[in-house]
Amino acid sequence: MKPGAKGQDNMKKIKNILSDITSKDDNKDFDLLFLVDATASMGSYIISAKEETKNISKELRKLYPDRNFKYGYIFYRDPIDSNSDIHEVIDLTDDANSIPEKIAKINARGGGDIPEDWVGAYKLVNEKISWRDGEKVIIHLADAGAHGKLFTLSDKYPDEEGKLIQELEKCALKKINIFGYIIEDDAKNTFTECAKFYRSKGGFFEVSDFCPPEMKNMMNINPMMGMNPMMNNMNMMNMNSMMNAPPPMMNNMNSMMNMNPMMNMNSMMNMNSMMNAPGPMMNNMNMMSNSAPMQMQMMNNMNFNQNAMNSVSMILNRK
């Protein structure tokens, strides 16, 4: 080797590395995909996804004007357990204003057993999304875990475990950053196991609770906020029925009180007071029943927005 040839080779390597870093810094593309469980229990979160898309887009453009954002959605269900369930995909687009119209007809439905089709969801991530070369982020919202015994101990589809691992490995090769948000504890174990595997492959996978502690505390203080709107309406209907109940029903209630000492006189006195309550009191109770779901929806919207902003900011600011 000629004198200095080794030094020239080293300089060439350094230039190649610097060129690679520069090209990465110059790439302003940022792809943001929302991966949302769309089974029946996720209705309010799908509403939030619909309502907050434009707000998230506006905030990101304002905070990071030099970035080229694209947004997409995958709404997944559980065709493994229910043939009528289908997944729905909205590929990445830079026109965030068009997304609400595209997802307007998407509703929460289906989902037979507790686990959902995470394999199908991540298969769509790898095969149906037009990822670019810049930063890639998935925000995954779920209240139920994946099929497969590693993820759900009592699951009846053990083959799904290996399939999900394969799809996650493909995502890691694409260098997709994943943020998993736990809505209910049923999803916690799956997110934990997926994150553990993903990190072992050099990928970024962070797991957090969707609801901040203060929101959970508020729900504990005011249980009505955590009620399903349909349940609220049913409870109010039952209460109205009791108010108009004929004497035999009251006799039955007295019998119940005698059979069950826990239904003490204080409870009955309170119930009698409610049954004899004037119109304004019942109106207030109806307002509470109707406003609790509205409060819950507003908080869901706020959390959806904040989680998205935090996730994007973490990736953009980690350099």
92 phi and psi angles, rounded to 5 deg: -60, 135
Same domain for 171 and 127: yes
Which pLDDT belongs to residue 197? Answer: 97
Q: Give a yes or no: residue 158 inside a domain.
A: yes
C-alpha pair distances (Å), 148 with each of 80, 144, 186? 12, 12, 13
Q: Give the pair of three-digit tokens for residue 268.
A: 């009955």
- Quote the number of domains for the chain: 2
Same domain for 170 and 42: yes
pLDDT tens digits for 214-244? 666 665 555 444 444 343 333 433 444 444 4
Between residues 228 and 192, which one has the greater pLDDT? 192
Q: Give a yes or no: residue 303 inside a domain.
A: no
Same domain for 285 and 204: no
Same domain for 152 and 38: yes
- β-pairing, 135-142 vs 29-37, is parallel
| 202/287 Cα distance (integer angstroms) | 51
pLDDT tens digits for 38-59? 999 899 999 999 999 999 999 9
Unique residue bearing structure tokens 């996978």:
205
| 298/301 Cα distance (integer angstroms) | 5
Same domain for 198 and 104: yes
| 93/95 Cα distance (integer angstroms) | 5
What proportion of the chain, given as a percentage, has pLDDT over 90?
51
Q: Give a yes or no: residue 216 inside a domain.
A: no
Burial call 100-133: b when 16+ CB within 10 Å, e when fewer: eebbeebebbbbbbbbbbbbbbbbbbbeebebee
Q: Is 289 helix (H, G, I), strand (E, B) or coil?
A: helix
Q: Is 70 helix (H, G, I), strand (E, B) or coil?
A: strand
Same domain for 161 and 250: no
| In the predicted structure, residue 308 carries a pLDDT above the cut 60 | yes
Phi-psi category of residue 296: left, alpha or beta, with phi > 0 → left and psi -120 to 50 → alpha: alpha
Same domain for 206 and 103: yes
Q: Give a yes or no: residue 7 inside a domain.
A: no
Same domain for 164 and 93: yes
Q: Give a yes or no: residue 220 inside a domain.
A: no
pLDDT classification of 83: cutoffs 50, 70, 90: confident
Same domain for 63 and 175: yes
Same domain for 151 and 92: yes
Q: Give a yes or no: residue 8 inside a domain.
A: no
pLDDT tens digits for 104-157? 889 888 766 789 999 999 999 999 999 999 999 999 999 999 998 889 877 778
**93: DSSP letter:** E
**214: DSSP letter:** H
232 phi and psi angles, rounded to 5 deg: -60, -45
pLDDT tens digits for 5-31? 656 666 665 555 544 544 455 789 999
Same domain for 92 and 199: yes
| 294/224 Cα distance (integer angstroms) | 11
Same domain for 165 and 97: yes
- For the sheet with 205-209, list strands across it: 88-93, 68-76, 29-37, 135-142, 177-182, 205-209
What residues make up the domain containing 111?
28-210
| In the predicted structure, residue 163 carries a pLDDT above the cut 90 | yes
Q: Give a yes or no: residue 97 inside a domain.
A: yes
Alpha-helical (H) ranges within the chain are 5-26, 43-63, 99-102, 118-127, 160-173, 188-200, 213-221, 229-243, 247-259, 265-275, 279-317
| 178/86 Cα distance (integer angstroms) | 23
Average pLDDT over residues 207-218: 77
Q: Give the pair of three-digit tokens for residue 234.
A: 């049913």
pLDDT classification of 178: cutoffs 50, 70, 90: very high
Residue 37 neighbours by CB under 8 Å, 6+ apart: 45, 76, 77, 116, 141, 142, 143, 144, 183
